[in-house]
Every structure is written in C-alpha cells, then in structure tokens.
Structure 1
C-alpha cells in the first residue's frame, strides 16, 4: 500500500474522542433563572422600562442567544459601547449576588459524567458565555475548581459562541492533534453552531436548558439526549463502534 493510500485510509478512520468541551449553565448546572434575573436588572438599570415592548424585545433576544458571550449580547442591545460595557458589569455584579444564596446547583449526574470522561482518558473543558470572574464564582460555589482539565470564557479565546474560538483554544491548550477528537456538549443552538464551525466530530445537545430538540438539531446537533447524565453511555457506544 502506498503512502498516499495509507493517508487516505487513515483519513477515513473515525477519531477516538480525547476532549469534551462542555457548556455550564443549562448543561452541567442549573441556576433557576438567575441568568435571566441578572439580565433584567442590567436592562432596568440602563433605562429600559420593565414590561415595556422594548424590554420584552431585548429580553427575548437574550433568551434566544443564551450561550453567547454576555458582552456580545449587550453590544447588540445597546449601540453605545460604553453603555453595553456598563450593562455587562451590572449583569455580572447582579449574578454574583444571586449565586450567593446557593441557588446555582449541579444538574444531576453532571459531576459523575465529567469524572467518568476523565477516568476514561478524555480531557474536559468547561466553557461559558460569562466573564472569567463570574465563571470562577460559579465553579467555586459548586466546589468544582479543578474538576475539569480546563475552563474557558470568551475573553480567554477572543470570541464567545457561536464562534468556534473557545473550542479551538481548548484544542491548542490541551495539545490535541485533530479537532475531530472533540465532543461538544451544550443546551443551546449557539453551542451546537460553535461545534459545527469547529469541526468537532460529536455535537451533543441536552434538554436540561434553554432550547428544544428541534432547535438544537436545526443548529447542527448530531445527537440530542435528555441530559449530560447520558453522555458516558453515548460515548461508550460511539467508541465501541470504532474499535
């Protein structure tokens, strides 16, 4: 067999999964609507009257773009960059205050799924649309600092979802050879789209967060499961087919 033929055969061999890039709110944790409450406070403190048509329109956009960098969301909602930056700061401060009451909790089975992946030889990156300070606050509140191999926020990568930057940053940081060795897991269309754009081979939607199965599949999900609790079985079945 020639070298070219070997290369072609290798290109057809399915890649084993070495990394899972996993979303936080809605996928591994639940915050009982605290993200939306913090968003409402940020809008109200920047002159948007609660209950008004403008308020509901802005809040609707924020819901539709769950998973996006929050700074990106505010930059869309407010034309003035200074106002957008101020709104983002209010959001982060409000969210920090809201998680102090212990209302941010792990989704059942999430921690076990992460530990299973690491025990099976995969690396795990926890990714978020929050800023670094808020992400760390959430991880600390759950006792999850160090649970994953890596945690990333949009500022770490350049752009947040739906761009693939955080996934590609994780690939580089964790020294993978091929983006096809990546699984992307999330509850929003932006998670799915970022996975598609990155070239990840497994793009798994979960139904514990913002978006429906139809929305996740339309955005590129290769599979949709009820929760991250089912991810280990999904990975096991996929890997068994590749032996």
Structure 2
C-alpha cells in the first residue's frame, strides 16, 4: 500500500493543567528562591538568587542536589565544609529546608492578578482544571488553602511525590490527565513558568504554554517588576521568552491571565489537524 492511516485528535480542548508557584500563585516564584538562598546562607555557602533558580520546577530534594552541582556552589561548599557534599548532606539540607520553605510559602501565597478570573472563564468553557508542582504535599497544602480563600480550587492537585518520577518526566501531567478523565493527551494544555515544567508537558504529548513575566524566568516580585522602566521590563521579558521558547513551549505569555487567546488558537489548530 502507498498510504498509511494516521489517527489525529481533532476535537475540543478538555483540560488545562496548571503549575502553582509563578503560574497561578506567588508572582515571581519568590517563595522557593528565598528558601534556597536562606538555606545556603545558614550553611555559610554563597548562593545567588540566579543559582537558586536554575533547577526551578524540579522536586525540591532534587533541586538541592542540582544546586550543589553548580560549579561555583560546589566550590563554595568545598571551601566552607572541607569536603564535597554527600547524600547525607543532601538529606540534612532537605530536612532543614522544609520549615524555611513552608514559611516563605505562607508569606508569598497571593494569587497572581487575573488568575482567579481566568480559571472561572475556563470552567465556563467546560474545561477541567488540574494542577501539579515541584512542592511536596505539605508545601502544596499551604498553597491550596490560600488559593481556596481567594477563590481557586483545581479539580485535581498533585504534589511532587504523587508520581513515580518528578519533572521533567511526564508522570505528573499524565496522572493529572488520568484523574481528570480526559479522552487523550492532545486535548490537554500544560501551563508552567519553568523549563522542567514545560518539558513535562511536552514529554506527556500535551500542548504547552509558558508563563514568562509572572514566573521564575523573570523572577521578580510584583513591586520589583513594577519598579522597572519599560526598557528594563522588555529586556527581562525578552530573555525569559527566549529561554522558554528554546525549551519547546508552543506559546509564551506574560501571565496566566493572558491564556485564553492561546486556547482559541490551539482549538483552531486541532480542528485543522495539527498536533502538539
């Protein structure tokens, strides 16, 4: 035969799967960055905010491991401790990190402007709303409680330990899809502010939308962002868009409040036979 049958989903979107910090809550993804820099400060090891942000989106114990692999941080640890970091050090650091992270989450648990209204409009469109994160269950419980008080509760919310593997593997996004009861992964959109989170969605075969300004890549709290002049804002935005686009995101937006135009375009592409 000269032709091969190709099966393509051409129906409507069914679900949006949202990250938490930097995507719907905690503009600038500040809470984890503050927690990591404070953790290493207490160890006497220099850690810049940029270094703390490099592995953002990964499960937090793995995040610590990756930070310790950054050459400058590894050298700082060696100088401060007289030896390379061990698995026992990582275990201890993660134990010490937990209360610091919980406190910064409490301080930064404000919904991103426009997020609650956007999610309401998603539900009006008949879309299911899932959520997942690099936070553990105790951490995400704080976000969930704060979000409920501000008008947001996803249909399914998964913590890092709820799947066998964390980001950038597809496990969390696929488990979201299973628990949401969607018909296929092509009917899902994964929205995230980090490279591992976008890679998670791509590995799951979903459409991906990256959030640049409100998330980890720009990495500024609302007052810090507002204090920049237009030229400085555009420079920070452009760098974030470039990195997230290079990660493979199908779309890059400033914040989740801008998501709806992407959804309309995705549904038109699906109807035309495009796939993620």
- Both proteins in one fold, TM over 0.5: yes
2:172 to 147, 157, 166: 166
- In terms of mean alpha carbon deviation, does 69-78 or 110-119 score higher? 69-78
2:134 to 129, 133, 144: 129
After TM superposition, give the deviation of residue 227 of structure 1 in Å: 1.2
Pair 1:150 & 2:156 matched? yes
1:222 to 238, 250, 275: 250
Q: Which runs of 4+ in 1 moved over 4 A?
A: none
SS where residue 102 of structure 2 aligns? Answer: helix
1:1-243 alignment to 2 at 5 Å?
8=6, 11-30=7-26, 33-45=30-42, 47=43, 49-51=44-46, 55-56=47-48, 60-76=50-66, 77=68, 79-101=85-107, 103-143=108-148, 147-200=153-206, 202-207=207-212, 208-211=214-217, 212-240=240-268, 242=271
Instruction: Describe the superposition over 1:204-240 as per-residue Cα deviations: whole angstroms up to 9, x where unpaired.
Output: 1112112200111110111111111111232134335
**Residues 100 and 60 (structure 1 numbering): CA distance in 2 closer, same or farther, change over 3 Å?**
closer
Instruction: Pick 1 or 2: higher relative contact order, CA cutoff 8 A, min separation 6.
Output: 2
| Consecutive unaligned residues in structure 1, runs of 5 or more | none
Superposition TM-score, scaled by structure 2 size:
0.74
2:130·2:156 contact (CA, 8 Å) conserved in 1?
Answer: yes
SS where residue 183 of structure 2 aligns? Answer: coil
SS where residue 126 of structure 1 aligns? Answer: strand
After TM superposition, give the deviation of residue 61 of structure 1 in Å: 4.1
- In terms of mean alpha carbon deviation, does 122-131 or 78-87 score higher? 78-87
Aligned-CA RMSD value? 2.4
How many residues align? The count is 228
1:130·1:153 contact (CA, 8 Å) conserved in 2?
Answer: yes
SS where residue 105 of structure 1 aligns? Answer: coil
Instruction: Describe the superposition over 1:157-216 as per-residue Cα deviations: whole angstroms up to 9, x where unpaired.
Output: 12221111100111222222311111010111112111111111x211112112200111
Instruction: Describe the superposition over 1:7-53 as per-residue Cα deviations: whole angstroms up to 9, x where unpaired.
Output: 64xx23434211111111111112562221211222234x3x243xx
| Consecutive unaligned residues in structure 2, runs of 5 or more | 70-84, 218-239
